[in-house]
Amino acid sequence: MDMSYLGVMSRKNEIMQKSVGIDYKKYEFGSIAFDYEKMMSDINYSLNDIKQIQLENGVGNTPLKELKNITKMVRKVAPKGKGARIFIKDEALNDSGSFKARRASLSCYHAKKMGYKGVIAATSGNYGAAVASSAAKLGLKCIIVQECFDSKGMGQPEILEKARLCEAFGAEVIQLTVGPELFYVFLNLLDKTGYFNASLYTPFSVAGIETLGSELVKQCITQVGREPDVVICTNAGGGNLTGTARGIKAETNKKIEIVGASVNLKGLHMASDKDFNRKSFTTGHTGFGIPFAANPDRSDVPRSAARPLRYMDRYVLVNQGEVFYLTEALALLEGIERGPAGNTALTAALSIAADLDEDKMIIVQETEYTGAGKHHNAQISFAKNNGVNVYFGDPEEEVPGTSIVLPNHPGLIKARVVDLVHLKKSCIKNHIANNKNNFLMYEDILFLMDEVNENELFVLETIKDLNVKEIKLKGGNT
């Protein structure tokens, strides 16, 4: 069999389908549409099934904690009568140290059930440790593939720490330099081993997070007497927000605002050897958040189950220095030391809470463990060693890859609004660009409406200037 780059890439759909056991083609119809809800339901695990699987594997049921001192800090800088109560869902207390234990638990359970001997995941983040932990519990082999080094062999401390944890759980870790070979190596391993693709973007992975959304609603009602007003999710590839929102909707009909939050790394290219070690966040940033929202099927499966624009009401950005500041504040004010990436949503919550009345409630839906290379002091030291200027000042001065500005005052922390309309239009345009036909069926219009959570007029107005020769509308009109 041809194992060259071109040979493996030519078989990518065949390899991916075999490694997840899903025939994605059966969900496709029209020119670009596919039945997302059927794909999600066909995994044949109910929400209660997933809760039970996770319970038996020590995952979930993490505490909901009110950050009373952080809330007091917000109220000191907010206008009178403003400053919503802030809570965190402390997901760092899962065995692998993050909410991604929920994703991995169902993926690995399904792999075991279907007879796969092992699992493989391509990730430089917390997901690798989560898959390794779940695989260890179920007696599965595990391989984690990381982008870790630049061309000089220098690895980010956060990624090295995650490799250490993966190996502690018994996984084999394959570390690569940054570049296009990651996907090839990943496919090659799936092809050679016959292991299960524990991708972040399968229905199993996203459905595993639905328990998080369900739990936080129930816990909020129990502890406070009602549902939260806002839930903020750190957003990267979109699965975190998608799964949490679906779990919330399964638990309550009340409208709860879903906010995505990412670290602003504008100007840095994620696959650039030069930029790789000049960013202090390996996940939860715009290098993933923006392109994966606008083009969700750019993932390692044919149809991604992570589709955040279907659920996101607002999208905001925070700066690196602001997140480091909040990470330190969380430890000093609340006695809770957690990793910076997981505090992205908490940083956004500070700004959003200042605009809401005191009787409102915000839930930050995840935290992550910290230690060694993941610690914010290690990240800041690494940044300095790579020529990044770190200082206290106005966060608006921060230039990703050049400076990290720690705010002089908590009142300077801002959640900067992303133009969600523009992002939704980009998503529609990408679907059209990926369409090999130059016509659309009415089913495609309905799909795009669901995809960006907008009405028919919005979709038609967006595509009117694109290269679409013909649109079949309701009733057969062209």
What is residue 306's predicted lDDT score, i.e. its pLDDT? 98
Q: What is the rounded CA–CA span in Å between residue 291 and residue 303?
A: 15
Residue length of the chain: 478
- To 5 degrees, how large is the angle CA 295–CA 296–CA 302? 115
Q: Say whether both 299 and 252 belong to one domain.
A: yes
Is residue 399 within 8 A of residue 157, CB to CB? The reply is: no
How many CB atoms sit inside 10 A of residue 254's CB?
Answer: 12
Q: Say whether both 322 and 451 belong to one domain.
A: no
This prediction has a pTM of 0.95
pLDDT in tens, 155-209: 889 999 999 999 999 999 999 998 778 888 999 999 999 999 999 999 999 999 9
Q: Say whether both 71 and 143 belong to one domain.
A: no
> Tokens 């044949």 sit at which residue?
44
Domain count, the chain: 3
Please indicate whether residue 275 or residue 102 has the higher confidence score (pLDDT): 102
CA 237 vs CA 44, 257, 305: distances in Å: 24, 20, 10
- Boundary-marking domain end, from 172, 205, 238: 205
Q: Say whether both 313 and 182 belong to one domain.
A: no
pLDDT in tens, 102-144: 999 999 999 999 999 999 999 988 999 999 999 999 999 999 9
Q: Say whether both 237 and 354 belong to one domain.
A: yes
- 303 half-sphere exposure, CB direction, 13 A CA radius: 20
In a domain, 422, yes or no: no
In a domain, 179, yes or no: yes
- To 5 degrees, how large is the angle CA 72–CA 74–CA 76? 70
Q: Say whether both 330 and 472 belong to one domain.
A: no
The separation between CA 307 and the C-alpha centre of its own chain, rounded to angstroms, equals 10
In a domain, 121, yes or no: yes
Question: φ and ψ at 403, to 5 degrees?
Answer: -145, 155
Q: Say whether both 402 and 453 belong to one domain.
A: no
383: enclosing H helix or E strand: helix 376-385
Q: Looking at residue 64, which CATH number applies to its domain?
A: 3.40.50.1100
Nearest of 368, 330, 331, 336 to residue 349 by alpha carbon = 330
Instruction: Look up residue 217 and give its two tokens.
Output: 């609603």
Query: Which residue range(s) make up the domain with 451?
Result: 428-476
Question: φ and ψ at 255, to 5 degrees?
Answer: -75, 115
Question: φ and ψ at 398, to 5 degrees?
Answer: -65, 135
- Boundary-marking domain end, from 151, 184, 205: 205
Q: Which residues, including other chains, have CB under 8 Å from residue 304's CB and lie 6 or more apart?
A: 201, 237, 238, 292, 296, 297, 298
- Boundary-marking domain end, from 417, 439, 454: 417
Nearest of 104, 74, 126 to residue 367 by alpha carbon = 126
Q: Say whether both 411 and 347 belong to one domain.
A: yes
- To 5 degrees, how large is the angle CA 29–CA 15–CA 181? 110
Q: What is the rounded CA–CA span in Å between residue 337 and residue 335?
A: 7
In a domain, 423, yes or no: no
- For residue 74, pLDDT over 90 is answered with yes
Q: What is the rounded CA–CA span in Å between residue 83 and residue 194?
A: 53
Q: Say whether both 257 and 387 belong to one domain.
A: yes
Q: SS3 for 406?
A: strand
pLDDT in tens, 369-394: 998 888 999 999 999 999 999 999 99
In a domain, 32, yes or no: yes
Which range has the worst mean pLDDT, 257-266, 318-327, 365-374, 399-408? Answer: 365-374
List, in sequence order, every residue forming a beta bridge with 259; answer none if it has no partner: 232, 314
Instruction: Look up residue 373 and give its two tokens.
Output: 């290379």
Is residue 235 within 8 A of residue 284, CB to CB? The reply is: yes
Q: Say whether both 309 and 213 belong to one domain.
A: yes
What is residue 339's predicted lDDT score, i.e. its pLDDT? 93
Q: Say whether both 90 and 109 belong to one domain.
A: no
Q: Say whether both 107 and 169 belong to one domain.
A: yes
Instruction: Look up residue 84 and give its two tokens.
Output: 């919503």
Q: SS3 for 193?
A: helix
pLDDT in tens, 296-355: 998 888 899 999 999 999 999 999 999 999 999 999 999 999 999 889 999 999 999 999
Residue type, 20: V
In a domain, 325, yes or no: yes
